[in-house]
Amino acid sequence: MINIELADRVKNLPQYLFAAIDKMKNDARAKGIDLIDLSIGDPDIPTPAHIVDAMKSAVEKPEHHRYPSYEGMLSYREAVASWYKRRFNVRLNPVTEVLSLIGSKEGIGHIPLAFVNPGDVVLVPSPGYPVYPVGTLFAGGESYIMPLREDNGFLPDFKAIPENILERSKLMFLNYPNNPTAAVAREEFFKEAISLAEKYNIIICHDAAYSEIYYDNEKPMSFLEVDGAKDAGIEFHSLSKTYNMTGWRIGFAAGNKEVIAGLGKIKTNLDSGIFQAIQETSITALNTDERILSGIRKVYQERRDALYNGLTAIGLNVSKPKATFYLWTKVPAGFDSSSFVTHLLEKAGVLGTPGVGFGEPGEGYIRFALTQSVERIKEAVDRIRSSL
């Protein structure tokens, strides 16, 4: 037999956070625990019926059964551009400034391959989405962690980044509304980021997957709304969270045409595009009646209020989210993030995600996802109270 040895890039790869969470869930259920799962951000609300109906029709069309175009159907990219104009008053050229993605995760994971050489630096927010540093690792780059601290509104402190790091940096990942902290960013922050990018020739990659899950009618802004943004980088979006389409695997990148072209070149060589029936259906999704989306947000707001009010009544310190469907919660004295997650699983049958899994600056917090009904959330609060 031959000796099978993993490549160094895989040997050095940390265990993917949510694979570990899945194992915890499976082990708990195997023991017969009635688990209330508030760990992974996978919407429990079904995809709206009009989108499902559109897919039923699209999948029957023979023209969709062949290879799709690499950059995505022009009609889909035109729908993305129209959505940006309606939602953010941002004009995009659908031919050169929009690229279809197999979910935003795929684009985020691949973009370092287009622009990062071995030894280059990528500025990575932490706590943050694990794919930012993993994509950097695969490209041979070095991640420089930008800590997100509560005393700075969970925004990175650009002034704390050493000059020699900035001079070696090729990409900077940002993510607002933020996962896991649920923080939002304002125009002044994006202006500061763009100014930094222009000075040091750094491409900004803004992950805006949660822009449409917001509360109290406080709509988050797009990075691309800010003057100079299209010169500085691109924005990633996903249909997963907005339309409850996580399993459909479709998203898009928009912005700087040279960055879009670079990412497109990677995709041309590594994948064969998105099933056209899903792209056609996603045009329907992007034109969804706002009343349907408002209804989805209303469900999440009821859940947010139930969990926030319940946890604060227990005495836990919780950041009240203005967007996303996450609550970033400080662990009580005597626990770290992993031990508190284990405690809640074993003593309450409630599963959250340890903050340290999103990076060392996330230690001391756990993330709860609003992916259970109000009734189950209230039950989870009661169980947590009893366990403490």
Per-residue pLDDT, 123: 98
- DSSP, residue by residue, 121-153: EEEEEES--THHHHHHHHTT-EEEEEE--GGGT
Residue range 310-325: average pLDDT?
A: 96
Per-residue pLDDT, 21: 77
The three-class DSSP label of residue 372 is: coil
More confidently predicted of 285 and 29: 285
| Tens-digit pLDDT profile for residues 344-358 | 998 999 999 999 999
- One fold for both 8-45+291-387 and 49-286? no
CATH topology of domain 49-286: Aspartate Aminotransferase; domain 2 (3.40.640)
Rg of the chain over all Cα atoms, to the nearest angstrom:
21
Q: What is the pLDDT of the chain when averaged over all its residues?
A: 95
Nearest CA-CA partner of 209 in 325, 37, 65: 325
Residue 17 has pLDDT above 80, yes or no: no
What residues contact residue 367 under an 8 Å CB cut-off, 6+ apart?
A: 39, 180, 326, 327, 328, 329, 352, 353, 355, 358
Per-residue pLDDT, 344: 94
Give this prediction's pTM.
Answer: 0.95
Residue 16's pLDDT band (cuts 50, 70, 90): low
Query: Domain-by-domain residue ranges, the chain?
Result: 8-45+291-387, 49-286
Per-residue pLDDT, 25: 80
More confidently predicted of 41 and 305: 305
Residue range 117-137: average pLDDT?
A: 96
Per-residue pLDDT, 30: 83
Report the C-alpha gap between 326 and 290 in whole angstroms. 22
Report the C-alpha gap between 346 and 340 in whole angstroms. 10
Residue range 50-77: average pLDDT?
A: 95
Per-residue pLDDT, 40: 85
Q: Tokens 């993330």 label which residue?
A: 367
Residue 50 has pLDDT above 70, yes or no: yes
Q: Rank 8-12, 268-272, 376-380 by mean pLDDT and report only the highest.
A: 376-380
Q: What is the DSSP letter of 208?
A: -
Residue range 287-301: average pLDDT?
A: 97
Residue 325's pLDDT band (cuts 50, 70, 90): very high
Report the C-alpha gap between 132 and 328 in whole angstroms. 20
Nearest CA-CA partner of 151 in 191, 192, 172, 181: 181
Give the lowest-confidence range in 10-19, 172-181, 247-256: 10-19
Does domain 8-45+291-387 fall under CATH 3.30.413.10? My reply is: no
Residue 184 has pLDDT above 90, yes or no: yes
